[in-house]
Structure 1
Amino acid sequence: MQSPVTVSPVWRRPVSPIVCRFADDAVDLVVVGAGYQGLSTAFHAARAGLSVQVIEAGDIGAGASGVNGGQVIPGLKQDPETLISLFGEAAGQKLTRFAAKTADTVFDLIAREGLDVDHMRCGWIQAAHTETAMQAAMQRNRQWRAQGADVALLNPAEIALLTGAEGYRGGFLDRRAGVVNPLALVHELARIATEAGAGLVTHDPVTELVRDGTVWRVVTASGRMLRAKKVLVATNAYSGRLVPKLAQSLVWLHSFQIATEPLPAEFDLVLPSGQAVSDSRRILVYYRRSPDGRLVLGGRGPMRQPRSEEDWAHLERALHRVYPMLSGVRISHRWFGRVAMTSDHLPHLHEPEPGLVIAAGCQGRGIGLMVSLGEPLARYLAGGDPSVLPLPITPIHAIPLHPFRRLGVAAHVAWYRLLDGLER
């Protein structure tokens, strides 16, 4: 996961140890993967009385749930009118209502369960760097206002005041959004899931899933074998060969991030009100202030493992483009992780065989989306009623020429980066 040039992210801090244990050899539900989706589902399922075992291949938070940008953004990549056109009026409105409340779900859970997670709910800004992007922001604002969302359109003066950044034509402000410490959140989800009764074991990858009559036989690398009525595979960008075609239905990317040293008081104009920001470029960057005053900025990185600090240089250039006054500020931390995307930029639900359920695809909305999916997934796994799910269950479709995806993605990234540079 990490290379010798990365260091611990600024939001890594000592966390309470999680008691890792196996539940009984026969359980109602096995959850493969201890990220936001898996742990949220395990928590809700255990609270509902199911016997649950979570099995994680590595450390808690070693995947995307621990190394993401910490932005809790409601909605999906597509806006309400697009969702309705894709799914039809009833299903599209149902998905829109679910997506509208994903940030509420996260922050309500933190408050209700007393989670020890640094968080701030001051909103999210999608910053428009061209007039075309500003027109898109106007459409997004119009559609979400029609849904009753607390959103607003920002003019150049307003976005300059809220971000302290240079060069934006305006933007879209979603006051429902916020930021969290992502690693703390996944650890706290592990804590409340185990306190609710779920078993949890780490560093023991699931190597085999076999349908055996009416139950599933789950085998791990250590040789442990469990029998489960239902299985949730919550591996997303870290999906391997466990479920046929699953990995081939996803495109994974590396998300690289940097953090500055704590900014001196003279730079208090940088995000003074605490909003998170994503820009409108094809290869976007996103940034926020950390609780100790650093600027944390992320974006796409090389498809290979990083080899040196130069692999983060594009983010330093982006930082200095947005905030030229920070050119002398030291970059103190660099890290990266893997995230999953789908070809249509929508989350997908699958059940390739009875009792084997999969949810995949985040597209930059992973915290709100995957935490929020936990409750309906738990209800579906307990009762089998698909009407409780916000999305229809669809077959797994492998992406054509998937083995060449890394070359294709790398070429697209390079081309889009060139186009973005020409628009400055």
Structure 2
Amino acid sequence: MSDSTLTPAAQFRATAPGELFPLAPSLWAHTAVPAVSTPALGASCTADVVIVGAGYAGLSTACHLAKNGVNVVVLEAREPGWGGSGRNGGQIIPGLKYDPDELEARFGAEAGRAVAAFAGSTTEHVFRMIDTEKLAVPHVRHGWVQGAHNDAALHTVESRMRQWERRGLKGAQLLDAAQVRNLLGTQAYKGGWLDPRAGGLQPLTYARELARVAMASGARIFGQTPVTGWQREGNAWKVNTALGPHVTARTVIVCTNAYTRELSSKLSSTVITPNSYQLSTAPLTAQQAESVMPGGQVSSDTRNLLLYFRKDHTGRLLMGGRGPFRQPASNNDWAHLERAVVKMFPQLAGIAFDHRWCGHVSVTRDFLPHVHEPEPGLLINIGCMGRGVALETAMGDALARYTLTRDVRALPFPLTRISPIPFHGLQRLYLAAVVSWYRMRDAGLL
């Protein structure tokens, strides 16, 4: 690579899928539509734009560029949706870590309003894509309930809702404990709020359908093709792969997010990539389904180590949350989530759990998405903070518009320098201690 800050990761190997990340099969892998055929790159080729990574951001970018007549090649180390895009909870939630007032304070009034407007609109990108492209994705849009676990959290959620209302949100509801109980079927919360912009979907099917649409629009997607690096050659970039063939393009867009460590040790040190653990129950009976999340909303709460949960299109209850940083060693690594299900929903005592899985989330130091352009024509998008379905779909649109226009106003966030987290190698130890502290503070549910 010509940029010295982006040297290939020392541990990179041309591995078989899953060797570096031996993750358990997910529920989504068992219920998704068949994957489109994305054979490995067999010969060197040229393109206008080469995208590294076929998750939501890469696939959304490819869709928007291809529909504008751009010659796009997507290189994916495994298959579209293999990483976090096919392993998340399938919740389509708007917003960022920061509320609108905080964004305006952080970026300034004008820029902050623009960032907040983008953050509030991210779910629209998903539902619009599903509708306009007629994606065969099981999905619902009945809103997001954020349950407040204590009195302080009640003030937080009310403030959050009022801030969005001042910026035009219609249909939001402040909920008391009884209303939350009626919507979710649990007595775990003192109240909360309902955000009508949100919903849920089958996340791996969504990724595969995005890949199908991108290819139908003219993009070429090559799976099982790990990228090993790139270098400037004249006015173009040469993107090298572990298989030997390369792609030459005037623009490279990197969308590897939490799975960047195999590509660039420098870039991967700008994020922490904890595992988010999830499990699903066996399909609920009709009686159970009437008492557990009967309105079809998705939900996550206000705890420091939040829980997120929903019912899927097969009638299962899904529960997700933090787990060990290491790869799972046994079903015991999901035991805290099994306890949470029964603690929150006593009516499900004794229910069986049929799938357990996890996937990586990319978290930046400032809890904001980062966009870098270390050299002209080399664009990098990284950091999803657990809001990847909506956020990365919308980011794909923005990255495509910036590539087409070179107008920085197309980007929702300013271009920044690549800045590794200090003492990144110790972050896992530090965060493990933080997790233990938060778990003690959140004690009472688990």
Distance in 2 (alpha carbons) for counterparts of 1:385 and 1:241: 31
The residue number in structure 2 matching 1:136 is: 156
The residue number in structure 2 matching 1:349 is: 371
The residue number in structure 1 matching 2:33 is: 15
Does the residue aligned with 1:421 lie in a helix, a strand or coil? coil
CA contact 1:70–1:180 (8 Å) conserved in 2? yes
Deviations 1:75-106, CA, capped at 9 Å, x for gaps: 11111100001111111111111111111110
**Amino acid in the other structure paired with 1:83:** L
Whether 1:161 aligns to 2:159 is no
Does the residue aligned with 2:361 lie in a helix, a strand or coil? strand
Mark the runs of 5 or more structure 1 residues left unpaired by the alignment.
none
CA contact 1:32–1:206 (8 Å) conserved in 2? yes
Match of 1:231 among 230, 252, 256: 252
Match of 1:220 among 238, 241, 263: 241
Distance in 1 (alpha carbons) for counterparts of 2:390 and 2:239: 29
Deviation at 1:381, TM superposition (A): 1.3
**Amino acid in the other structure paired with 1:91:** A
Distance in 2 (alpha carbons) for counterparts of 1:42 and 1:204: 17
TM-score normalised to structure 1 length: 0.96
The residue number in structure 2 matching 1:170 is: 191
Counterparts of residues 270-349 of structure 1 (less than 5 Å): 270-349=292-371
Whether 1:98 aligns to 2:118 is yes
Does the residue aligned with 2:78 lie in a helix, a strand or coil? coil
Deviation at 1:108, TM superposition (A): 1.1
Deviations 1:102-160, CA, capped at 9 Å, x for gaps: 11110111011000000000000110010011110011011011011132211111111
Counterparts of residues 233-252 of structure 1 (less than 5 Å): 233-240=254-261, 242-243=263-264, 245-252=266-273
Displacement over 4 Å in runs of 4+:
1-5, 21-24
Distance in 1 (alpha carbons) for counterparts of 2:313 and 2:430: 38
Distance in 2 (alpha carbons) for counterparts of 1:7 and 1:186: 16
Distance in 1 (alpha carbons) for counterparts of 2:219 and 2:330: 40
Distance in 2 (alpha carbons) for counterparts of 1:364 and 1:127: 17
Distance in 1 (alpha carbons) for counterparts of 2:33 and 2:88: 18
Distance in 1 (alpha carbons) for counterparts of 2:197 and 2:187: 25
The residue number in structure 2 matching 1:32 is: 52
CA contact 2:158–2:174 (8 Å) conserved in 1? yes
Quote the RMSD (CA, aligned, Å): 1.7
Deviation at 1:324, TM superposition (A): 1.7
Distance in 2 (alpha carbons) for counterparts of 1:62 and 1:409: 26
The residue number in structure 2 matching 1:47 is: 67
Deviation at 1:242, TM superposition (A): 3.6
**Amino acid in the other structure paired with 2:38:** C
Deviation at 1:350, TM superposition (A): 0.7
Distance in 2 (alpha carbons) for counterparts of 1:257 and 1:97: 30
Whether 1:111 aligns to 2:131 is yes
Does the residue aligned with 1:245 lie in a helix, a strand or coil? helix
Distance in 1 (alpha carbons) for counterparts of 2:189 and 2:29: 28
Deviation at 1:284, TM superposition (A): 0.7
Does the residue aligned with 2:325 lie in a helix, a strand or coil? coil
Deviation at 1:60, TM superposition (A): 1.9
The 1:300–1:95 alpha-carbon spacing in structure 2 relative to 1, beyond 3 Å, is same
Deviations 1:209-229, CA, capped at 9 Å, x for gaps: 112222111000000111110
Deviation at 1:11, TM superposition (A): 6.1
CA contact 1:11–1:181 (8 Å) conserved in 2? no
Query: Bigger CA drift: 232-241 or 12-21?
Result: 12-21
Does the residue aligned with 1:65 lie in a helix, a strand or coil? helix
Deviation at 1:315, TM superposition (A): 0.6
**Amino acid in the other structure paired with 1:416:** Y
Distance in 2 (alpha carbons) for counterparts of 1:343 and 1:126: 24
CA contact 2:23–2:358 (8 Å) conserved in 1? no
Deviations 1:238-277, CA, capped at 9 Å, x for gaps: 1126446211110101011010001112211110000001
Distance in 1 (alpha carbons) for counterparts of 2:23 and 2:198: 32
Mark the runs of 5 or more structure 2 residues left unpaired by the alignment.
1-17
Deviations 1:306-346, CA, capped at 9 Å, x for gaps: 11100000111111221122121111111111110111111
**Amino acid in the other structure paired with 1:291:** H
Whether 1:253 aligns to 2:274 is yes
Match of 1:361 among 375, 383, 405: 383
Whether 1:84 aligns to 2:94 is no
CA contact 2:374–2:417 (8 Å) conserved in 1? yes
Distance in 1 (alpha carbons) for counterparts of 2:283 and 2:247: 48
CA contact 1:351–1:357 (8 Å) conserved in 2? yes
Does the residue aligned with 1:101 lie in a helix, a strand or coil? helix
CA contact 2:118–2:412 (8 Å) conserved in 1? yes
Does the residue aligned with 1:38 lie in a helix, a strand or coil? helix
Does the residue aligned with 2:273 lie in a helix, a strand or coil? strand
The 1:195–1:116 alpha-carbon spacing in structure 2 relative to 1, beyond 3 Å, is same
Does the residue aligned with 1:302 lie in a helix, a strand or coil? coil
CA contact 1:153–1:172 (8 Å) conserved in 2? yes
Distance in 2 (alpha carbons) for counterparts of 1:5 and 1:50: 35
The residue number in structure 1 matching 2:11 is: none
Kindly, what percent of the aligned residue pairs are identical?
A: 46
Deviation at 1:203, TM superposition (A): 0.8
CA contact 2:28–2:203 (8 Å) conserved in 1? no
**Amino acid in the other structure paired with 2:196:** R
Deviation at 1:375, TM superposition (A): 1.5
Query: Bigger CA drift: 69-78 or 148-157?
Result: 148-157
Deviations 1:267-291, CA, capped at 9 Å, x for gaps: 1111000000101111111000011
Deviation at 1:352, TM superposition (A): 1.1
Does the residue aligned with 2:232 lie in a helix, a strand or coil? strand
Whether 1:194 aligns to 2:212 is no
**Amino acid in the other structure paired with 1:160:** R
The residue number in structure 1 matching 2:12 is: none
Query: Bigger CA drift: 22-31 or 196-205?
Result: 22-31
CA contact 2:23–2:359 (8 Å) conserved in 1? no
How many corresponding residue pairs?
A: 424
The 1:416–1:40 alpha-carbon spacing in structure 2 relative to 1, beyond 3 Å, is same
